[in-house]
Amino acid sequence: MVVERGRVAWVGSEGAAESFADGVDEVADLRGALVTPAFTDAHVHLTATGLALTGLDLAGARDLAGALDRVRAHATARPGDAVLLGHGWDAGEWPGGRPPSRAELDTAAGGRPLYLSRVDVHSAVVTTALLDRVPGVTALAGFTGDGPLTGEAHHAVRRAALAAVTPGERAEAQRAARAQAAACGIGSLHECAGPDISGEDDFTALLALAAREPGPRVFGYWAEPVADAKGAERIRALGAVGAAGDLCADGSLGSRTAHLHEPYADAPHTGTALLDAAAVAAHVTACTEAGLQAGFHAIGDAALTAVTEGVRRAAERLGTARVRAARHRVEHAEMLTPGHVAAFAELALTASVQPAFDAAWGGADGMYARRLGAGRAAGLNPYAALLRAGVPLAFGSDSPVTPFDPWGTVRAAAFHHTPAHRISVRGAFTAHTRGGWRAVGRDDAGVLVPGAPADYAVWERGELVVQAPDERVAAWSTDPRSGTPGLPELLPGGPLPVCLRTVVAGRTVFARPIE
């Protein structure tokens, strides 16, 4: 492969490549390593990811006592922090299933302000000292006397906590997140920001940092409703490629705030509706008329009904072809019914999904089954049905909800807990490379062909195979005569490929020695 001015200029046989050797600035002998397009992570929160990498990460805490021990140690190690920040607790995985009380956190943090987001980032536990920084928080929806905060109360305390992060700390976190992504073979990231998530200063600072410093590309989405052309222009002025990402129609299953048609199996309610079909239609109409991509966060079946009905209303007003051409997107899209899948196909909605969610929470004993019951849980994340219907897929991590792990994500899709939802390794790989580029309206990228951006990763290779998850996949695709290119074997429990180099626009942004 020859790269020139940040793009792929030529691809061919090793023998033919020798004719280029005298005319290039550098020749890289990869010694038989595998070269692939760089991965695209289609849903991330980079500052939050970096703060977890550089700060208090509770993902590994095995019980409540261990989590409190980590809080104490972090408070001792960071005496100068105005607000202590942490992420990743999941009380459902702890003995007893109880999150820390406010009194326990007050003691562990030594009376200091502390914010700890749950693993799904849709609820948090905090100390009294942080609540004291948010006047009127007790009157906001989602406030509880001693339990996790959700909804508006959670958004208010999160804003107060993040306001204490200095510009220097923020830049450090953003650099750490991009460096970690590059080390995982990720060349592009879709930042899903918004006024209730990270704030304008964080968003614009991230885009500026990504523009001036080497590393993975960052495409920014801003989650704010658009009512007219003026609103759309404001989104563009921020540097966003769309008014999409985490514009929330509901919350999450783990925090029991995803909006369902029927009550949760472990709670007597149906979650939280944040947008109805009329609001969705208004946003999609305004964005489509302005030539701006729209999108929503929707997890529960009721939220997905609101989104698909709203987009269909916009299509009835503007014409289906015009709405399809805008390539609007839906994040997570977990609790899809066959009707939702058909609507996604009809309206050309991109499903921006996270297979690692099923790996973490699926199965008979997983969080999904506890929240929904085994029957409903088995229907979540139907990737095979989406592909069969022709729905564009883009894979991501929602980091820091789940970590950057692109090959693990591909494996999670190919070996979904529900066999009927599994897709081929090649299909999953495409969703995590080219799919992310298509989700931002680029059909010329995510592949290594002449003219494409020279965004690629080099991998320590094992055996290359054409792998199908089970016998439902046509046998011809795995027959050598089909010419289907091989990829690393990704059997559950086996080792995953190790990234040796990541290149973005022809520039190396991560490298380790190739032995």
| Whole-number Å distance between alpha carbons of 204 and 222 | 10
What is the pLDDT, as a whole number, of residue 451?
Answer: 97
Q: What is the 3-state secondary structure (H, E, C) of 416-459?
A: CCCHHHCCCHHHHHHHHCHHHHHHCCCCCCCCCCCCCECCEEEE
Strands 464-465 and 456-460: unpaired
Question: Cα–chain-centroid distance for residue 91?
Answer: 22
Asked if residue 149 lies in contact with residue 100, where contact means CB atoms within 8 angstroms, the answer is no
pTM of the model: 0.92
What is the pLDDT, as a whole number, of residue 145?
Answer: 84
**Which of helix, strand or coil describes residue 505?**
coil
Asked if residue 413 lies in contact with residue 384, where contact means CB atoms within 8 angstroms, the answer is no
What is the pLDDT, as a whole number, of residue 16?
Answer: 86
What is the pLDDT, as a whole number, of residue 477?
Answer: 56
Assigned token pair, 46: 């980079």
Burial class (CB in 10 A: 0-12, 13-18, 19+), 443: exposed
Low-confidence residues in the chain, pLDDT < 50: 474-476
What is the pLDDT, as a whole number, of residue 11?
Answer: 94
What is the pLDDT, as a whole number, of residue 515?
Answer: 62
**Which of helix, strand or coil describes residue 225?**
coil
End-to-end C-alpha distance for the chain, whole angstroms: 20
Question: Cα–chain-centroid distance for residue 435?
Answer: 13
Ramachandran region, residue 207 (left: φ > 0; alpha: ψ -120 to 50; beta: rest):
alpha
Cross-strand bridge partners of residue 219: 190
Element (H, E) at 87: strand 84-89
Asked if residue 85 lies in contact with residue 51, where contact means CB atoms within 8 angstroms, the answer is yes
What is the pLDDT, as a whole number, of residue 15?
Answer: 82
Asked if residue 174 lies in contact with residue 47, where contact means CB atoms within 8 angstroms, the answer is yes
